[in-house]
Amino acid sequence: MIRVRGVALDIDSRRLLCGLNFDAPTHEIVAIIGPNGVGKTTLLRAIAAQHPVGGGEILVDGANVASFSAVERARRIAFLAADETVGEALAVREVVAAGRYPHHRWWEWREGSDDAAAIAGALAEVGMESFRDRLFSSLSSGERRNVWIALALAQATPVLVLDEPTTHLDVHVAQRMLALLRRLARSGKTVLCALHDLNEAAAYADRIVLLGNGTMRAAGPPEAVLSSSLLDETYATSMERLHLADGTLRVFARSYPPGEAG
């Protein structure tokens, strides 16, 4: 369970976000949405204790994330950045194995059977078992994304914080990824992710946190947060809501700038 209480975030002494108050309970997927540059990544980094908060506190299972040592933090929270390159010639398995670092003491240099099982399980979860010996640099960007997710899974943490986990993935793989995240959440993890695709958020998130204009505009179930007026205002775009036959909510932009097209 993550609790965000009165959090303010600064970038280079400039206040980026303030007044953030929301919970991300266990067993749920919480999606952070909002326009480009609003501070989604900074918020996720703060939750993963990789960016200092300018005010308020972020609690993971009741403990302030700022109080964790590096290893304690990595045993509780796996954070996946939106885009990270690997300069060295590493095999896929070596990249995923980095997720086992917090489960070793500094003198334990050898991989144990539990490490091997965690790495193999993580690669299987994202359907990359057959890629284990391939060079990471030879993979497509979507495949690399899967490897990073596998690393986060190998870390075996109760909390997953993912920045745009479906970027670079085609529709099929993205759906599979989101289904996997939902399965992980249902199995007892807390999953928090930034998403650009509002329909992915509508379909898979249990709760949505909408950021805009330097603050939290709304937080709650998709039906409540994805209201036309809120989205219109936040994205400065005229948005349309639609319910499919099965009751699923879909939102899409009608025109841009409002009223000019169509």
Partner 1 sequence: MLLRLAGLALAAVAAMFAALLVGGTSLSVHDVATSLLHPKTASTTATIVWQLRLPRVCDVAFVGAALAVAGVLLQGLLRNPLVDPYLTGVSAGAAAAIAIALLAGTSVVATPAIGFAAGLGTAVLVAALARRGSGLDTQRLILAGVSLSAFFSAIVALAIFRAQSAGYASAIIAWLAGSPAGRTWHDIAICLPYAALAGVLILPSVPALNVLRIGELQARSAGVDIARTQWLILAAAALLTACSVELAGMIGFVGLIVPHVGRRIVGTDARALLPACALIGIALTVLADAASRTLVAPAELPLGVLLAFVGVPVFLYLYLRGNRNR
Q: For residue 209, state whether it binds partner 1 (rule: CB under 8 A).
A: no
Residue 78 C-beta: closest distance to partner 1, Å:
7
CA angle (74, 165, 249) in 5-degree steps: 125
Q: Hey, is 248 helix, strand or coil?
A: coil
Q: Per DSSP, what are the bridge partners of residue 2?
A: 24, 60
Select the span of 14-22, 68-76, 182-190, 241-249 touching partner 1 (CB under 8 A). Answer: 68-76
> Toward partner 1, which CB reaches closer, 80 or 219?
80
Classify 34 in phi/psi space as left (phi over 0), alpha (psi -120 to 50) or beta.
left
Draw the binding track, 97-136, toward partner 1 (x: CB under 8 A; -: no contact): -xx-xx-x-xxxx---------------------------
Distances (CA, A) of 190 to 1, 24, 152, 208: 6, 7, 13, 14
Angle at which helices 171-186 and 141-154 cross, to 10°: 10
Matching residue, tokens 């480009």: 36
Residue 187 C-beta: closest distance to partner 1, Å:
21
> Toward partner 1, which CB reaches closer, 107 or 188?
107
With a CB cutoff of 8 Å and minimum separation 6, the contacts of 216 are 17, 19, 20, 21, 22, 209, 210
> Toward partner 1, which CB reaches closer, 66 or 179?
66
Residue 226 C-beta: closest distance to partner 1, Å:
30
Residue 170 C-beta: closest distance to partner 1, Å:
23
CA angle (165, 101, 3) in 5-degree steps: 50
Distance, in Å, from the CA atom of 193 to the CA atom of 171, rounded to the nearest integer, reads 18
Q: For residue 249, state whether it binds partner 1 (rule: CB under 8 A).
A: no
Select the span of 54-62, 90-98, 195-203, 253-261 touching partner 1 (CB under 8 A). Answer: 90-98
With a CB cutoff of 8 Å and minimum separation 6, the contacts of 75 are 102, 103, 155, 157
Q: For residue 151, state whether it binds partner 1 (rule: CB under 8 A).
A: yes
Contact 62, 10 (CB under 8 A): no
> Toward partner 1, which CB reaches closer, 139 or 230?
139
Draw the binding track, 22-51, toward partner 1 (x: CB under 8 A; -: no contact): --------------------------x-x-
Select the span of 3-11, 74-82, 193-201, 216-224 touching partner 1 (CB under 8 A). Answer: 74-82
Q: For residue 139, state whether it binds partner 1 (rule: CB under 8 A).
A: no
The gap between the terminal CA atoms of the chain, to the nearest Å, is: 44
> Toward partner 1, which CB reaches closer, 18 or 90?
90
Contact residues: partner 1, CB under 8 A: 48, 50, 69-71, 73-75, 77-81, 84-90, 94-95, 98-99, 101-102, 104, 106-109, 148, 151, 155
